[in-house]
Amino acid sequence: MQHLKIALIQSEIVWQNAELNRINFIEMIKNISKDVDLIVFPEMFTTGFSMQPNAIAESMDGKTVQWMQKLALKKQAAVAGSVIIKDESKFYNRFLFVHPSGKIEFYNKRHLFTLAGEEKVYTAGEEKVIINYKGWKICPQVCYDLRFPVFSRNIEEYDVLLYVANWPKLRILAWDTLLKARAIENMCYTIGVNRIGADANNLEYNGHSAVYNCLGEIQSNLDEEKSLVQQIELNKSHIIDTRKKLNFLNDRDSFQIN
């Protein structure tokens, strides 16, 4: 596909109430005005950024995953966002990408947020994941991953770098700056979907969900502290033409991640 149509869902998240969050997101999805290929929710979109997985984790055949599959089928669009998942006695902050067919691909957050003690209760992912969808190569990442450019370096010629987050207002300048930097250095579309509102830890979130093109030019910016749905269309020719004219990726360093 030459174009990829994406809906960014920026919303408040009800603390540790998956059922109510699913209901709220369904209401927001009604605001999607035309067909889209991909719907993206924030990090831990059914719970907020909780360090209590014992009480609220779901399984890969649990209610939220089934809900995402039904939604993807109904909308004939992929659905993505991160969820607290328990898998073989371990807890993960897992980015789920559900295809319209119901097929699930996932990425486990690699860089756990030590400032909040995330590494004490969740297991870090080890593998970088590239998702092939409608002729587009998408690299999923989660929140704190944004601060670590080596892991996300574009060695796979991916087209889209996709971040979901609970990134607080206090550090939003870093969010804005690093999203733009990731787009420029990787010569790809870079998307960040963040939440708004406040959580049970009294952290405030102010959105700033955004889309940047290969040159770091902003294509969409939800800087209002409101629940909003933003639809954006990505153009494959922008990637091809930019990389053909400015072949900076050809000069990238080679490295290994341990």
185 included as an active-site residue: no
Question: Residue 14: CB partners within 8 Å, gap ≥ 6?
Answer: 20, 21, 24, 48
Task: Note the pLDDT of residue 31.
Answer: 87
Assigned domain for 24 exists: yes
For 61-76, what is the mean pLDDT?
97
Q: Given pLDDT bands bounded at 50, 70 and 90, which one contains residue 229?
A: very high
Looking at 12, 105, 143, 180, which residue is catalytic? 143
Q: Given pLDDT bands bounded at 50, 70 and 90, which one contains residue 256?
A: confident
Looking at 75, 109, 128, 180, which residue is catalytic? 109
Assigned domain for 223 exists: yes
Domain of 53, in residue numbers: 3-251
Angle at 186 between CA 182 and CA 117, to 5 degrees: 40
Structural domain total, the chain: 1
Task: Note the pLDDT of residue 226.
Answer: 85
Assigned domain for 256 exists: no
Convert the pLDDT of each residue in 152-204 to its tens digit.
999 999 999 999 999 999 999 999 999 999 999 999 999 999 999 999 999 99
Convert the pLDDT of each residue in 197-226 to its tens digit.
999 999 999 999 999 999 999 999 888 788
CB 98 within 8 A of CB 68: yes
109 included as an active-site residue: yes
Percent of the chain with pLDDT over 90: 93
Task: Note the pLDDT of residue 56.
Answer: 97
Convert the pLDDT of each residue in 84-106 to its tens digit.
999 999 999 999 999 999 999 99
Percent of the chain with pLDDT over 70: 100
Task: Note the pLDDT of residue 224.
Answer: 79
Strand partners, 85: 58, 92
Looking at 43, 58, 118, 185, which residue is catalytic? 43
Q: Given pLDDT bands bounded at 50, 70 and 90, which one contains residue 20?
A: very high
CB 194 within 8 A of CB 205: yes
Assigned domain for 257 exists: no
143 included as an active-site residue: yes
Assigned domain for 224 exists: yes
Q: What is the CATH number of the domain that holds 7?
A: 3.60.110.10
